[in-house]
């Protein structure tokens, strides 16, 4: 990559670092040098031990992110299943009303026959002495038979439909209950992982927390530098579409807002909540979770990505960010962090997907 372009990126990055605390895992553009004036513990934790803490925290937050994806998927499915259950309930009510009306019609026909002496129409017809009455009566009998058959068939269909709606509702309810259990399980895992991470961080001295923040930045910077040194940025020259520009504009306007798992804005976001809302604002709704976005959206080569595309991270597609250009992304990193800019290569890239393709 040309030194001019690299210098331009470095200058832009320096400005970003000056005004925001870049989050890990996924923050690039941070100085690898220690923070001047940081207070030191009387017995500072060895760097290798602090690095182990960083890796443990990264693992805990990644597991929380994966569980968050599972929670969001279960929540979305529960909403869809609840809506379907409501529709089935409406059909059951309508079916019962239709069956009631059909039974009333059948009852009315039976009462009419009783009032005529209990004889069927065919018997009355045979007892008629008037030829014209006989002919008129024959037509009425045929129409009556047809109507009776139609009424019986309609009652049978209504009863069958009602039974099917009831079976479908029962099956849907079981799915809803299973989804609720999956959602509860995911929520428990999220809370356990976040709690463990927070407990681990709380055991650190203030000076160690500052050193840990530097290690996080260094790890992200190292990954971003390796990504840039591959020359990939020289190949990326895609122009943003109008929708892509709107998505980028929305996402960057959220910078500084807190991360919250399961949140879709407008005050807090998780990673896929940010990207899904960014594209919804651009008029192109996309799946809710990072894994669904990876599975369902059009995949493009990293070299072909353009602003507005989504960068999917880690082997389990548990994190997603929105590419803004010049090798940078905007994303909601993890609990305790805010929506921020970072290097697109500061985390292991699984692939790139394109909404609206």
* Two structure tokens written together for 76: 């979305």
Distance of CA 252 to the CA centre of its chain: 20
Q: Chain-centre distance of CA 244, in angstroms? A: 20
Q: Which of 218, 64, 92 is nearest to 166 (CA)?
A: 92
Q: 83: which 2 tokens?
A: 């809506």
Residue 331 is a catalytic residue: yes
Do 338 and 259 meet the contact criterion of CB atoms below 8 Å apart? Answer: yes
> What is the C-alpha radius of gyration for the chain, rounded to an integer number of angstroms?
33
Q: Are 277 and 247 in contact (CB under 8 A)?
A: no
CA distances from 190 to 109, 193, 319, 340, 350 (A): 64, 5, 14, 22, 23
Structural contact between residues 30 and 13, judged by C-beta atoms closer than 8 angstroms = no
Q: Is 329:236 a contact under the CB 8 Å cutoff? A: no
Candidate list 17, 124, 146, 331, residue with the active-site label: 331
Q: Are 308 and 355 in contact (CB under 8 A)?
A: yes
- Among 310, 320, 292, 319, smallest CA distance to 356 is for 310
Task: Give me the half-sphere count of Cα atoms (radius 13 Å) on the Cβ side of residue 41.
Answer: 14
Q: Is 317 helix (H, G, I), strand (E, B) or coil?
A: coil
The residues that are catalytic are: 271, 319, 331
């Amino acid at each position: 990559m040309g030194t001019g372009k690299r210098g331009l990126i470095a200058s832009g990055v320096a400005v970003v670092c000056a005004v925001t605390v870049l989050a890990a895992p996924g923050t690039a553009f941070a100085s690898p040098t220690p923070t001047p004036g940081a207070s030191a513990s009387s017995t500072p934790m060895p760097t290798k031990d602090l690095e182990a803490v960083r890796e443990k925290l990264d693992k805990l937050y990644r597991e929380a992110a994966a569980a968050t994806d599972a929670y969001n998927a279960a929540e979305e499915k529960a909403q869809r299943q609840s809506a379907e259950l409501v529709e089935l309930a409406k059909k059951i009510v309508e079916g019962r009303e239709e069956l009631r009306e059909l039974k009333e019609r059948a009852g009315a026909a039976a009462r009419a026959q009783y009032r005529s002496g209990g004889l069927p129409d065919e018997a009355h017809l045979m007892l008629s002495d008037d030829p014209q009455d006989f002919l008129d009566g024959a037509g009425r009998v045929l129409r009556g038979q047809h109507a009776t058959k139609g009424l019986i068939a309609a009652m049978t269909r209504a009863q069958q439909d009602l039974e099917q709606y009831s079976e479908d509702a029962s099956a849907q309810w079981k799915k809803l209950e299973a989804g609720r259990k999956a959602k509860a399980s995911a929520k428990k895992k999220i809370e356990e992982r976040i709690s463990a991470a927070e407990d681990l961080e709380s055991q650190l001295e203030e000076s160690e927390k500052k050193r840990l923040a530097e290690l996080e930045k260094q790890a992200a910077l190292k990954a971003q530098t390796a990504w840039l040194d591959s020359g990939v940025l020289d190949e990326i020259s895609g122009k943003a579409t109008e929708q892509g520009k709107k998505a980028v504009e929305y996402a960057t306007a959220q910078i500084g807002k807190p991360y919250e798992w399961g949140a879709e804005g407008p005050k807090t976001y998780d990673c896929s909540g940010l990207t899904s809302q960014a594209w919804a604002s651009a008029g192109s709704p996309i799946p809710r979770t990072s894994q669904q976005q990876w599975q369902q959206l059009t995949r493009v080569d990293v070299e072909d990505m353009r602003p507005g595309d989504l960068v999917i991270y880690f082997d389990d597609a548990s994190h997603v960010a929105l590419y803004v250009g010049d090798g940078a992304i905007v994303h909601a990193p993890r609990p305790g962090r805010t929506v921020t800019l970072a290097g697109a290569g500061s985390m292991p890239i699984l692939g790139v997907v394109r909404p609206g393709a």
